[in-house]
Structure 1
């Protein structure tokens, strides 16, 4: 099945993009043209059937950021980095015979220009830079005015712009200007990243799980027992994670600051879901290293989102002096600590299931087992369907009975996939 990538760009950039993008039969480029970058928000609504949104120009990406964040759209921007700046400088010198001084440039982030100038041993004062990311909102007229004022004051001889509409406006004023061309390397990089993200999101187990693991108070251990003892603990911890990764089809990597990372998908999530109450991984670590350990699991639709959530989950562990494990899901809800039993009144629940929800004995006992296994954490109708091994419609009928009998209540929503309706989350009404 082909991956459909919606590409947002001006006409000239789109021609360059399609020409330079690889002719991969696994992907389909769906072009969305605009004359002004601000039109991109309307075009996004028309790209609903696409798997991923790719922005070829930094100005359009800037306009779309709020909608991307609000709708949690899987989006990629063509890198506007040091390589692109350096390539533009090279073309400026050899195609336009313009030296790297008395020049103004507009970019998404000025740091890329500064890095290139530092490498070339050029003074930043010789080039004037307008940086989008430093503004809360963007107005193309402000960018045009920035360049125009410098030209009128006799401070520049040439303009490099990252937006076609800015180029056209400056040409109308008779100001020498050219648009920065997108290097082929950057196009290929963006397409490859877009395809990878789309493949992950197309998978039925689209959620990515990242685990961040570290030994609590490792610095104190080094001071008390020495570097060698601390390194031995880290090796033991790594071996436990290596065995766990083999069981769950995950990957384990050593990070900075004596921290380890797990990267996985459905198998890791299934393991976590099935061990809310005991969580044997944490207990095995405690028995082996004989010191408190912290684990933070993050769920997300992208690796970056999952990693950010794992960091939030790890921060939650810092509130405890003992070993602990927390999860932050794709809605940034914190779940945990895992391995600690959350009590509920099973007798009271049984009576409610029988008399209020009017479930039979077998269903009632099964539901109590379901709540026990999940450690009384929020659940969806899909969780019920998987546990009872019934159809989604049958699970929803059970949910409706539980709601009607006020045995459970709605506590939120989850959206495990990029497309589709969010699922309601329920918990016991006790």
Structure 2
């Protein structure tokens, strides 16, 4: 897909860096704008060369919508969001030693900043804003003067801005400020959304596969509500990052709706030759179930259109919800019942049989490993397991290597003891 990016140069460079590192199969054409009035004419030129257009922020996006009729080329923008706000607040707390109680804000949504503060347990912060016209010819000077005035009135104020020139003026005046940049997760989310629009427009009749992913988590044992909310947010982002990694391998798009957190849209060919062949369905389920009280369910749907495949994936997901032992189902049509895609049940024998089949082990080997884990504790080390299983460390490492390939091993720490490789402390998920 050819992607056009338009807007502020500094934000555009940040977006391109993420795409180069994370989504390498996207061809980018970028157009920098110094003034918002330049946006409409440059968008029309850009549309002739690309499959989709990404605006660096909501202001130039809405300005273009106001002055242009939308074409067949899909558009979206990098929105104001809580993840980017959290990143900026964390930076202000660490690098500027701010208590985050007094914040000067310009054109970023104050409600999102307030939500981010609540996430980290700050309920009574003062956020100072002024009514500012983003289409003003003197916008950056207006923003600088507003921030400067608030700082002079209260030297505990930390300035947050999403504008490069304003940030440079504040830094030069030695006024404490943080530049808000779009978070990597949000950039990837919007690029995948545009890929979805492009995929839908290409009309791949009869070749759609949709993977519906639902996850839940229980942090009710944590009594501090701020810590609990933060843990939930961190788990959510870990899952999303892992899904983006899979989507990249499948050359797929990712989106969500009001009910299901994440969908991956790809082709039947990629589903069969990559997703199933590389055991990504098992790895995703294992990754999501980091603790026994966490659960991930997959519904995989096939169809002649994207909407049909999505409907089948939701139907399959409902089967996965109802089944206590099988967490992934696949549905191919409205007339056929959804069938299990993989068994990763809570019953030990069923789980061990599945892992043994994918790794080429005997059940006896895994039962021996399971018994050793009871004796050594989990997490453990290869050395401890080797001693308990009466095997060489090399043989145990070969077993662990295969288990790691399908997501059944998590490295939780490394301990160094002088020269040589550090000892890996591993959690084994059977």
TM over 0.5: no
Q: With structure 2 as the length reference, what TM-score do the two structures score?
A: 0.42
Q: With structure 1 as the length reference, what TM-score do the two structures score?
A: 0.42
Say which one has the larger Rg.
1
